[in-house]
């Protein structure tokens, strides 16, 4: 067994390589891979194996929202992969009872017991059972399951899963790789820097992707399409950024957030990549922007999604308002902070 020094997405490439090597060595036909947003799934395109991708269930992040991009689902399906979205085996009714009435229930005890060997191990077992129950794999074959801790992959297991009603007949044959211990994945180290004109394509793409994912619970598809239509021309959409104070957040050479503010204190745009929400990036960008200008009052037009964030920073709602993009109405809030 290969042991990784820490948990998390940094182990993804190594985990997939180990899984594919073992599949070749043992003649295992099928890989069952957990992938919430498709980052791990894409790496297996053209791998030469029967691949089943198991996503988060719809509503895992927010009610009604499916995190796995529909365009990627089609791409993977057209390439011969199968993508499964269904209720998590260790969630379902037990989790609903827990949230409503409290207490601990059998499925949760089972999940926490598997987590003794790590979150990735629990995920491997769970997605294999889910794939079997959906009829995506055979009960007569071993499979290699791949899971992770948070984002990416860090654990690979050879097993023959049993159907949910016979779960305890599941036969784990070998743990191919996993982290040594349960140390949490470190938050990505990010840096802030001034905007550069060459950032335009990345900023426009980040904006569009964020609106269609992070904002999806608060705005309809028609509204999101109208909102992001201008980003099809990155140069035009970013035309005002050089005249504002614009800050870009980077991690490992990739743009993961940005924001801009006028000399008068109007905070125009603030977007953080969907995979880096709640990591302090938006706060750091806002802090830098507000320090950069001398304004008696800071103002912004906050989306429904962003309003709680700005309230937490001391902004108050002046008034709700409706703006139009391509003739489509979108609600937001004029907010200010003295």
The pLDDT value recorded for residue 147 is 96
Please give the Cα distance from 6 to 1 (Å, whole number): 15
The pLDDT value recorded for residue 180 is 85
Of 71, 69, 40, 66, the closest CA to residue 53 belongs to: 40
Report the chain's C-alpha Rg in angstroms.
Answer: 23
Strands (E), 12-170: 30-34, 50-54, 82-84, 143-147, 155-160
Strand-pair partners of 177: 2, 156
- 239 by Cβ neighbours in 10 Å (0-12 / 13-18 / 19+) ranks as exposed
Please give the Cα distance from 168 to 164 (Å, whole number): 8
Q: Output the six-digit token pair for 75.
A: 């791409």
Query: What is the side-by-side order of every strand in the sheet holding 191-194?
Result: 191-194, 245-251, 254-261, 266-272, 298-303, 328-337, 316-325
Residue 279 has pLDDT above 90, yes or no: no
pTM, full prediction: 0.60
Q: Output the six-digit token pair for 261.
A: 């503010």
The pLDDT value recorded for residue 25 is 95
The pLDDT value recorded for residue 258 is 98
Question: What percent of the chain stands above pLDDT 90?
Answer: 78
Least confident among 49-63, 183-197, 238-252, 305-319: 183-197
Q: Helix crossing, 119-133 with 106-114: angle to 10°? A: 130
Phi and psi of 299, rounded to 5°? -130, 160
Please give the Cα distance from 333 to 300 (Å, whole number): 8
Q: pLDDT tens, 90-141? A: 988 888 888 778 877 899 899 999 999 999 999 999 999 999 999 999 999 9
Parallel/antiparallel/unpaired status of strands 245-251 and 191-194 = antiparallel
Q: pLDDT tens, 67-76? A: 899 999 999 9
The pLDDT value recorded for residue 187 is 60
Per-residue pLDDT band for 186 (boundaries 50, 70, 90) equals: low
Q: pLDDT tens, 127-174? A: 999 999 999 999 999 999 999 987 889 999 999 999 999 999 999 999
CB 238 within 8 A of CB 271: no
Please give the Cα distance from 143 to 31 (Å, whole number): 6
Q: pLDDT tens, 3-28? A: 887 788 888 998 999 999 999 999 99
Please give the Cα distance from 256 to 247 (Å, whole number): 11
Residue 44 has pLDDT above 90, yes or no: yes
Query: Which positions ≥6 away from 215 have C-beta within 8 Å?
Result: 224, 227, 303, 304, 305
Q: pLDDT tens, 24-34? A: 999 999 999 99
List the domains of the chain with CATH numbers.
Answer: 2-179 (3.40.1380.20), 191-337 (3.40.630.30)
């Amino acid at each position: 067994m290969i042991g990784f020094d820490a948990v998390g997405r940094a182990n993804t490439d190594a985990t997939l390589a180990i899984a594919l090597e073992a599949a070749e060595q043992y003649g295992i036909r099928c890989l069952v891979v957990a992938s919430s947003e498709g980052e791990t799934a894409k790496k297996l395109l053209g791998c030469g194996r029967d691949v089943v991708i198991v996503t988060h269930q719809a509503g895992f992040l927010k009610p009604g929202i499916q995190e796995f991009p529909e365009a990627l689902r089609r791409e993977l399906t057209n390439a011969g992969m199968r993508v499964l979205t269904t209720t998590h085996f260790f969630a379902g009714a037990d989790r609903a009872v827990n949230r409503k009435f409290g207490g601990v229930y059998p499925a949760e005890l089972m999940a926490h017991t598997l987590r003794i060997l790590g979150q990735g191990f629990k995920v491997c077992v769970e997605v294999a059972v889910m794939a079997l129950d959906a009829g995506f794999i055979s009960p007569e074959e071993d499979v290699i399951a791949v899971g992770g801790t948070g984002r990416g992959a860090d654990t690979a297991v050879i097993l023959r899963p049993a159907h949910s009603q016979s779960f305890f007949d599941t036969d784990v044959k070998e743990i191919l790789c996993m982290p040594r211990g349960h140390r949490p994945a470190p938050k990505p180290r990010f840096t802030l820097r001034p905007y550069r004109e060459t950032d335009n394509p990345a900023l426009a793409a980040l904006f569009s992707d964020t609106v269609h994912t992070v904002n999806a619970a608060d705005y309809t598809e028609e509204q999101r399409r109208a909102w992001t239509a201008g980003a099809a021309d990155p140069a035009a959409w970013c035309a005002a950024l050089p005249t504002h104070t614009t800050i870009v957040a980077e991690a490992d050479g990739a743009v993961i957030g940005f924001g801009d503010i006028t000399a008068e204190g109007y905070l125009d745009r603030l977007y953080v990549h969907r995979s880096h929400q709640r990591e302090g990036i938006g706060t750091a960008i806002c802090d830098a922007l507000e320090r950069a200008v001398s304004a008696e009052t800071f103002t912004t037009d906050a989306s429904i999604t962003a309003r709680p964030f700005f309230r937490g920073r001391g902004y108050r709602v002046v008034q709700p308002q409706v703006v139009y993009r391509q003739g489509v109405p979108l609600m937001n809030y004029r907010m200010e902070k003295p």
